[in-house]
Amino acid sequence: MEGTGGDLGGQRNWGPDDAPGLLARASLTMLPWPLPLASSALTLLLGALTSLFLWYCYRLGSQDMQALGAGSRAGGVRGGPVGCSEAGGPSPRGPGEPGEGPRTEGLVSRRLRAYARRYSWAGMGRVRRAAQGGPGPGGGPGVLGIQRPGLLFLPDLPSAPFVPRDAQRHDVELLESSFPAILRDFGAVSWDFSGTTSPPRGWSPPLAPGCYQLLLYQAGQCQPSNCRRCPGAYRALRGLRSFMSANTFGNAGFSVLLPGARLEGRCGPTNARVRCHLGLKIPPGCELVVGGEPQCWAEGHCLLVDDSFLHTVAHNGSPEDGPRVVFIVDLWHPNVAGAERQALDFVFAPDP
């Protein structure tokens, strides 16, 4: 190749044989800096981008872990008992009080997003709406204002104060067949309920006058000492198909109501569960009113109650009649799908 000073702008006639040389010289003149320096800069840029990506992943993971653990520490998403709402039932607020607002709603939403990232959003339509809407009027006012779950309202669930026995046939029949064993367990842990002395080991202090509880499961956590003392009841619980045993909405145990005691109207924390009441000792004068509908227990038989409805419990009998005793288990609402149960177990997991 010849040209004036080797310059590409030199005056001469170029031919096809000169093409490789021209391309080589053009590429050299277009490089803004030497090739080794460009390679080093590119390496540094890729390293910086990788570090930034790793930092972002770390921050995202930290936020997820904080969302999964902060609820139980702050008390923001708990379904455990904090009031005597008939058998270990959580009743965080009164029937007309609102939910905890943005704090609880945001925590439930964050936990649900963490679940979806790990698994899937498939089948999560109702749960997602429940997490976004929250309880009370924002998440669904219920039926004529008498169904007001305090923490989680799952939309589009069939609503009725009392649920047909056939909806949970297997669990109902298992509990009723276990009635003799459960009654024997109650006799082994019972006491005089006089109130003059402290409750024996395993019994909760009276959360309301005349209301005592001995829980085998409390807020989704097994109480080992109580389970060992009640082997028949524990065996029955282990055989249930829809027991909320891994969810803070899930409780199971004995509920005792003394003569003259009354639990005024209240609503449970969620409509995603159904309370199964197995009558053990039912003296005259006992009454249960759920959503304005009166009902009564029967010894050896189960009664399925949606306690997200406003409900009242009373023992109007005389002292000679003795206490009313029921064994209560929290079951999943029959219309909550399997994928929804799994997601809610993740969101409302018991404290570690």
pLDDT tens digits, residue range 59-84?
Answer: 544 444 443 343 333 344 444 443 34
Q: Is the pLDDT of residue 27 over 60?
A: no
Does this model's pTM top 0.85? My answer is no
C-beta of residue 253 within 8 angstroms of C-beta of residue 214 = yes
- Predicted local distance difference test score (pLDDT) of residue 14: 47
* pLDDT tens string 255-300: 999 999 999 888 999 999 999 999 999 999 999 999 999 999 999 9
What distance in Å separates the CA atoms of residue 278 and residue 299, rounded to the nearest whole number?
Answer: 7
Mean pLDDT of 183-194: 92
Q: Is the pLDDT of residue 46 over 70?
A: yes
Q: Is the pLDDT of residue 180 over 50?
A: yes
Direct distance between the N- and C-terminal alpha carbons of the chain, in angstroms, rounded to an integer: 80
| Residue 173 amino acid letter | E
Mean pLDDT of 38-53: 79
What distance in Å separates the CA atoms of residue 149 and residue 93, rounded to the nearest whole number?
Answer: 9
- Predicted local distance difference test score (pLDDT) of residue 197: 77
Q: What is the mean pLDDT of the chain?
A: 79
In the three-class reduction of DSSP (H, G, I as helix; E, B as strand; rest coil), residue 205 is classed as coil
Tokens of 10: 């030199």
